[in-house]
A = this chain, B = another copy of it.
Amino acid sequence: MPEFVPPRGMRDLSIDESEKFSLVLSRIEPVIRSFGFRRVEPTAVEHLETLQAKSGDAVLNEVYYFKDKGGRDLGLRFDLTVGIARMVANDFGLPEPIKVYAVAPVWRYDEPQAGRYRCHWQWDVECFGPSEVYADAEVIACALSIVRAAGLPDTIAKISHRGLVSAILRELGVEPGEQTLRVLRALDKSSKILPGELLDLLGQAGLKEEVVKRTLALSEIKGNYEEVENSLRRFESEQTKSTLAELRTIWDALGPLGVRDSCTIDLGVVRGLDYYDGAVFEGFDKALGLSVFGGGRYNALTAIYGKRALPATGVAGGMERLILALERHSSLSLGSTTKRIFVAVTEEEVRKQAIELATELRARGIVTEFPLKRWPLRRQLEYANASGFTYVVVVGKRELESGLFTLKELKSGNQSQRSKEELVSALLPP
């Protein structure tokens, strides 16, 4: 038997899910645009080489890849950052800074479980050009403004710096390069694995027991900038000092950006993707205990993809996660959506006039339906009730002769007699 359902882990957006999606988008898109970001959309299907260029082997395992009919190795995008970086790196027409965003689905081939999909919708905000870390502060502020606008006022941005953590690891005796990357990958997993497993991973990376202990202590440093600087007083290498100065500049800019009260520095945040090489950040909703965004700086990525090197930083979050969070916070009310009007007919002879009335209302932007089936009036009213219409207008011979129509509000049962002009003004949005 053929399976006429979405493939495993794939998903349809139902009417309800689409409405929620549109509502969230209508809240966050004006905020993103107010920061000066402009929308793009990279292709959903990429060359596999593009996807694996700089994202680490761990990600490759998760890429939904395949050979197409022409034998090409292709894959579905697993995030929006890679495609956007490839686009921007090859476009010479844009003056820098280049600030772009996308809202679109991405695919990952992980094992789907109950309620987990292989397809996720992401919002993604990226800034190309400035090596100055004002840009990092800008995308952090934008991310916090996005989740606030969506209805999550209690999200905290945890900020760290892979360059700073790497510099201190070096002072602790960890080799730059592969050993440091292995330590960062292990720390990234720390919230998902048992403490013992984390110790094993750090040991496998070749760290001595004493270094493991200090590495764990480092990853537990958190607080405001001054507190973190105090904890790091004894580290004095040039790289430590310069990356710490970057963190201070970010922290300082978050104040006038109006979001510093929602920020904390947390050196335990390292982010899993290998392409991050500067500041990194994660949005964590306190009440929900859920991560709602993540991002960071990736100065080396565009040089791989294109003809010019562009420092870059960006942040992304899941739309479903945002919708789920909003549902739990009960701040997603669909009750305030548009009025919907059903024009009922008492008999088929007046259908023409009913359609004319509906067409007139639609032309003014009023959501209007009329019976598409030859139903008796009673059946029409049942349908209007079952489908959640706001109003019913009844059109019959008597109404057409008198020029007065009965407008019934279905929830309250309130009825009133209205002329056509009165109908329109009653139904138009205020």
Instruction: Enumerate chain A interface residues (CB-CB to B < 8 A).
Output: 2-8, 10-15, 18-19, 22, 30-31, 33-36, 38-47, 49-50, 53, 64-70, 72, 74, 76, 83, 86-87, 89-91, 94-97, 99-100, 105, 107, 109, 119, 127, 129-132, 134-135, 138, 141, 145, 252-253, 255-258, 304-306, 338, 340, 351-353, 355-356, 359, 361-363, 365-369, 371-374, 383, 386-387
Contact = CB atoms under 8 A, between A and B. Distances in A.
A39 B42 CA distance: 23
B105 A46 contact: no
Contact of A46 (B6, B46, B90): B6
Contact of A15 (B40, B89, B97, B135): B40
9 contacts: A4-B47, A6-B42, A7-B43, A33-B338, A67-B67, A68-B109, A256-B352, A256-B355, A257-B359
A100 B15 contact: yes
Given A99-B369, A255-B352, A305 B4 contact: yes
A72 B33 contact: no
Contacts of A372: 97, 127, 129-130, 132, 134-135, 138
A386 B403 CA distance: 59
A359 B86 contact: no
Contacts of A130: 372-373
Nearest to A118: B45
Given A74-B7, A97-B372, A362 B34 contact: yes
A142 to B, nearest CB: 9
Nearest to A13: B41
A interface SS class: mixed
A68 B74 CA distance: 11
A143 B365 CA distance: 16
Given A14-B87, A359-B258, A373 B129 contact: yes
Contact of A42 (B12, B38, B340): B12
Given A95-B383, A132-B372, A36 B6 contact: no
Given A44-B105, A95-B383, A134-B373, 8 more contacts: A4-B47, A4-B304, A13-B40, A13-B42, A34-B367, A130-B372, A131-B373, A256-B352
Contact of A12 (B34, B43, B65, B383): B43
Nearest to A127: B372
Nearest to A382: B95
A389 B376 CA distance: 59
Contacts of A383: 95
Contacts of A53: 2, 4
Contacts of A306: 4
Nearest to A117: B43
Contacts of A39: 13, 15, 18-19, 22
Contacts of A68: 7, 64, 66, 109
Nearest to A35: B362
Contacts of A31: 362
A124 to B, nearest CB: 13
Contacts of A356: 256, 258
Contacts of A97: 372-373
Given A49-B3, A305-B4, A36 B369 contact: yes
A30 B367 CA distance: 9
Contacts of A18: 38-41
A14 B91 contact: yes
